Amino acid sequence: MTSFLTVKEEYSETTVVTRSEFLTIVRHVGSEEETFAALAEIRKKYSDATHVCYAAIFDRSGYASRFSDDGEPSGTAGQPIMEALKASGLRETLVAVVRWFGGIKLGAGGLVRAYSSAASSAIKNARVVRFELCDVYELWLDFARAKKFTAAAARLPLRIIGTEYSDRVRFTLAAENGLEITAAVADAIGAKPDIGKLETRFIERPETENVR
């Protein structure tokens, strides 16, 4: 896997169906432990709610997942939320739908539609970002070559994700996993670069690029 989609920040919205109120919360979770902690926080905050149903995919591959009807008839809440979440392609994401019963029963079909619609709408409106697997490098340059490199960076197959100044300039660079960048940097500065690979990790793609 070289990239995945997730949510940037928590998003919530409310819908009302036949007097029942549904509050849908979409947020990032990076593990099962984070999922349970987030649910505990939601349940505490909305302790007067009738149900807190949810679905979560808490890994990057999409294999680690969990959902719950939380007292609603089996298959009417957690599963529809999970189907909406899977259809979105999001990973490391929790979708919780908090319901306050309005006094009128919706029936099994009505519940499925209500939870599915609430989850799908919130997922669609949440802010989504893409993380890509990148090799991270450090590059040390004197000030003259740093200026030249900065001017050329936009044309190179890399991104500057950090800059530090001392007696020289230290750039932290991100490039596509497996892509060799040393020659491109050398051409840009007209000299052999003092460059080394630090690690390989997932890095958020620039917000100027479309993630959907």
Please indicate, yes or no, if residue 211 is contained in any of the structural domains.
Answer: no
- The whole-angstrom separation of Cα 59 and Cα 32 is 8
Same domain, 8 and 111: yes
Q: So what's the pLDDT on residue 205?
A: 86
CATH classification of the domain holding 42:
3.30.230.30
Same domain, 154 and 117: no
Measure CA 130 to chain center: 7
Please indicate, yes or no, if residue 34 is contained in any of the structural domains.
Answer: yes
The number of folded domains in the chain is 2
Please indicate, yes or no, if residue 86 is contained in any of the structural domains.
Answer: yes
Same domain, 36 and 100: yes
DSSP state of 210: -
Boundaries of domain holding 156: 131-204
Please indicate, yes or no, if residue 163 is contained in any of the structural domains.
Answer: yes
- The whole-angstrom separation of Cα 87 and Cα 168 is 48
Q: So what's the pLDDT on residue 207?
A: 61
φ/ψ (deg, to 5) at 91:
-125, 165
Same domain, 106 and 162: no
Same domain, 121 and 137: no
Same domain, 79 and 165: no
Same domain, 28 and 108: yes
Please indicate, yes or no, if residue 168 is contained in any of the structural domains.
Answer: yes
Please indicate, yes or no, if residue 155 is contained in any of the structural domains.
Answer: yes
Which among 111, 3, 100, 98 is positioned nearest to 53, based on CA atoms? 98
Same domain, 79 and 157: no
Q: So what's the pLDDT on residue 84?
A: 98
Q: What is the mean pLDDT of each run of 10 residues along the chain (212 residues)?
A: 91 95 97 96 97 96 93 96 97 97 92 97 95 97 96 94 96 95 96 96 73 50
- Amino acid sitting at position 25: I
Cβ(122)–Cβ(187) under 8 Å?
A: no
- The whole-angstrom separation of Cα 25 and Cα 28 is 10
Same domain, 106 and 59: yes
Same domain, 145 and 119: no
Q: How many Cα atoms within 13 Å fall on the side-chain side of residue 40?
A: 6
Same domain, 14 and 108: yes
- Amino acid sitting at position 46: Y
Same domain, 101 and 182: no
